[in-house]
Structure 1
Amino acid sequence: MGAVLLLSYVAGADRRAAAGMQTTPVLVATSAIPKGTAVAKVRDMAVLKSLPRTAVAAGTLSSLASVSGQVTTTDIQPGEQVFASNFADRKTLLAPGQVTVPNGMQQISVMLESERVLGGHLSAGSTVGVFISLKDKTQTGYTHLTLQKVLVTAVQGTAPTASPTTDGSPTPSAQPAYTGNVMVTLALMAPDAEKVVYAAEYGTIWLSLEPSSAKEGGTRIVAPGNVYK
């Protein structure tokens, strides 16, 4: 009986040893991967290694296909295994009020009176039409909806003090209406950024709320000769 038990134990030990020697592929960081790194860049910062199964933690990745388009949510140090939980959509990393700026665009801020910014009712993430008005040498004015569906990345201004409720606490507001001057930051390609800066320096700017469903056709340069046509 003792011999049978011994043989069973030895056989089990052999199986455990064999299992421990079996390997599985896993991605391992070859350099420090900062938080917020895109998957496309992580591909050059990690390598696929074959490690003993006993050394591989649950949830590791052998490919980045399942997290394509995402970014790292934490720093990953060299030598660390790469987990699926290390990745998420970039939007999850943004603080409230922050907006992702599309690649290739720059940000321009302009200071406008609140009536030129929808009465101060504007928030980051909205898209706007940019009306530019200029005067020629004869002081004749011209206005044109120069840019359309421009992304607003930030809005700063002075919000009015909320009126108190019956119990004395301020009335909550989903979106404050900024008063006075409002600083609006826009995401623009370089040629369009030039137009906005020129208008801010030598003319005037007016913004309209222009959602994706707004029609863009029918615009023209409006001047005294055609304003009533």
Structure 2
Amino acid sequence: MKTRLLGGIVALVLAIVGTLLLVSYVQASEARAQADLQPVEVLVVQDQIPKGSDLDKIKSGVKLASLPAASVPNGALKSLDGLNGKVAGVDLLPGEPLLGARLADPESLSAPGSVPVPNGMQEISVQLEAQRVVGGRIAAGDTVGIVVLFDKGALKDSPDVETGQEVFHKVLVTSVQRSTAKASTSTDPATQANTELPTGQLIVTFARNDADSAKIAFGAHFGSLWLTKEPSTATEGAPVVVKKPELYR
């Protein structure tokens, strides 16, 4: 009798404990479900933002919106504070939450051996022999002067006269593609950098506005170009159109 009574009490206790555990589990599940449905404010892309867009462009293309917490991925941004200088690392599409991982430093988007193009500018490339590129000693990030030479036709009053002029100053070089240099017997890197002879042609890419880009293309196609290595500290003289008589003055 006592054994049956004891067994009944144990069964009752187990039933009560099981019920309490079940109720607790259901309540916790409901709490989690409710938390997942709670709205969270994050930045959502409204208009497509191209890769490389600066922070101002990103700000104009996103909007703070409320989304269910369950649909918000880790790393979603609530503001752009403290992200000055960042750009879009990929194309950002409408409707997607803005993730911090999708923003990057501008330098990380540049191809190896190149520098970023300043806002508002475009790139144009020309193919030149090494002697026209300061012996090939031009690198991405340098600034150069561009001298344009014409055999004839540059001057209206003297159409058959050869002319030359440094038309552009301190032009940013964004990239230089060159062939492999000939081997040097020197082991000094500084000596090698100044004495190795590039072979073949070099393709030099400039950052310039649309009008200047057209002028560079015109000069390269109908005349010839020579580059000077012109740092920001170089002095610029008055523009002079050089003809043969000017060489002896």
| TM-score, normalised by the number of residues in structure 1 | 0.70
* Structure 2 CA distance for partners of 1:81 and 1:179, relative to 1, 3 Å: same
Q: Residues 11-50 of structure 1: matches in 2 within 5 Å?
A: 24-30=40-46, 35-43=51-59, 45-50=61-66
More strand by share: 1
| Distance apart, 1:177 and its partner CA | 5.2
Aligned position for 2:4:
none
Q: Is the 8 A contact 1:25 1:62 kept in 2?
A: yes
2:247 is aligned with 1:227: yes
Q: Residues 64-103 of structure 1: matches in 2 within 5 Å?
A: 64-74=80-90, 80-103=96-119
| Distance apart, 1:58 and its partner CA | 6.0
Partner Cα separation in structure 2 for residue 75 and residue 141 of structure 1: 49
Aligned position for 2:162:
141
Code of the aligned partner of 1:192: D
Q: Is the 8 A contact 1:156 1:183 kept in 2?
A: yes
1:154 equivalent among 175, 183, 191: 175
Report the structure number with the largest CA radius of gyration.
Answer: 2
Code of the aligned partner of 1:105: M
Aligned position for 2:203:
183
Partner Cα separation in structure 2 for residue 83 and residue 109 of structure 1: 35
| Distance apart, 1:132 and its partner CA | 1.6
2:237 is aligned with 1:217: yes
Q: Is the 8 A contact 2:182 2:198 kept in 1?
A: no
Code of the aligned partner of 2:78: S
Partner Cα separation in structure 2 for residue 80 and residue 174 of structure 1: 49
* Structure 2 CA distance for partners of 1:77 and 1:180, relative to 1, 3 Å: closer
Code of the aligned partner of 1:146: V
Code of the aligned partner of 1:193: S
* Structure 2 CA distance for partners of 1:105 and 1:140, relative to 1, 3 Å: same
2:222 is aligned with 1:202: yes
Percent identical pairs in the alignment equals 41
Q: What value does the CA root-mean-square deviation take over the aligned residues?
A: 3.9
Aligned position for 1:114:
130
Query: Secondary structure at the residue paired with 1:144?
Result: strand
- The farther-off stretch of 93-102 and 29-38 is 29-38
Aligned length: 215
> Please, which runs of 5 or more residues in structure 2 have no aligned partner?
1-19, 153-157
| TM-score, normalised by the number of residues in structure 2 | 0.65
Partner Cα separation in structure 2 for residue 197 and residue 75 of structure 1: 31
Q: Is the 8 A contact 2:114 2:176 kept in 1?
A: no
Code of the aligned partner of 2:144: V
Partner Cα separation in structure 1 for residue 164 and residue 224 of structure 2: 9
